[in-house]
Amino acid sequence: MKTSAIRIATPFVTLVVAILAGGVLGALTNFINGRVSALYFQNIMRWNDVSDIARAAVAEGIFEGLICGLVFGTIFVVAFSIISRLRFGIAEALSYLGFWIGSAFLAWCLGGVLGILLAWVSPDSYRHAFIGVPQDFSSMLRYAWVGGSIWGVQFGGFALLVLWIVVFALRWKANKSVQATATGAVADL
């Protein structure tokens, strides 16, 4: 973590990459989800007249991913800019962004697994709690994967954003303390 001059380009580059990464993550996850349970999208999005639900799911994933990338990316950039006082480099910012996006993907996976577990443990409760859940057990589990994974990436992605901001703040503060100590030691010589 370098603490040199103010770096004005870092927030702008990081925000653009965050928005694009959100779109890519949305496309990837909905590419998979649209094939796992097209019925989920048909019921939740009311896509009764859509001929290719899997393709429409990808487009929806891109759209929602770009929006989440914009909103969450703005929070990310503002927090990192304030914490570092705009002294954080592009490479370091993008590495934290990569960790956050990667962990959001893992939250997508975990959410899907938790959705399946919820439906498997209590199928009747699951069917009553959520809209349009199919009666067929296998279809219900696929439906539960999609719903759980979407909640996982959205809510988990936000929680992980907060976590990565805290991790960055703690590391930045620790690095500043080390630098201050080293500067003081050099001045004493």
Let me know if residue 50 belongs to a domain.
yes
pLDDT band at residue 67 using 50, 70 and 90 as cut-offs: very high
Range of the domain at 14: 9-188
Quote the CA–CA distance of 118 and 63 in Å, as a whole number.
28
Q: What is the largest CA-CA distance in the chain?
A: 77
pLDDT band at residue 5 using 50, 70 and 90 as cut-offs: confident
| pLDDT tens sequence across 15-26 | 999 999 999 999
| pLDDT tens sequence across 134-159 | 999 999 999 999 999 999 999 999 99
**151 CB-contact burial (10 Å; exposed 0-12 / middle 13-18 / buried 19+):** middle
| pLDDT (mean) for 68-94 | 95
- Sign of the C-alpha dihedral, residues 170, 95, 112, 128? positive
Mean pLDDT for the chain overall: 92
Let me know if residue 3 belongs to a domain.
no
Residue 151 contacts residue 62 (beta carbons within 8 Å): no
**138 CB-contact burial (10 Å; exposed 0-12 / middle 13-18 / buried 19+):** exposed
DSSP 39-89: HHHHHHTT-TT-S-HHHHHHHHHHHHHHHHHHHHHHHHHHHHHHHHTT---
| pLDDT tens sequence across 16-60 | 999 999 999 999 999 999 999 999 999 999 999 999 999 999 999
Report helix, strand and coil shares of the chain as percent, to nearest 5: 85, 0, 15
Let me know if residue 46 belongs to a domain.
yes
pLDDT band at residue 6 using 50, 70 and 90 as cut-offs: confident
Report the domain count for the chain. Answer: 1
Let me know if residue 101 belongs to a domain.
yes
Let me know if residue 118 belongs to a domain.
yes
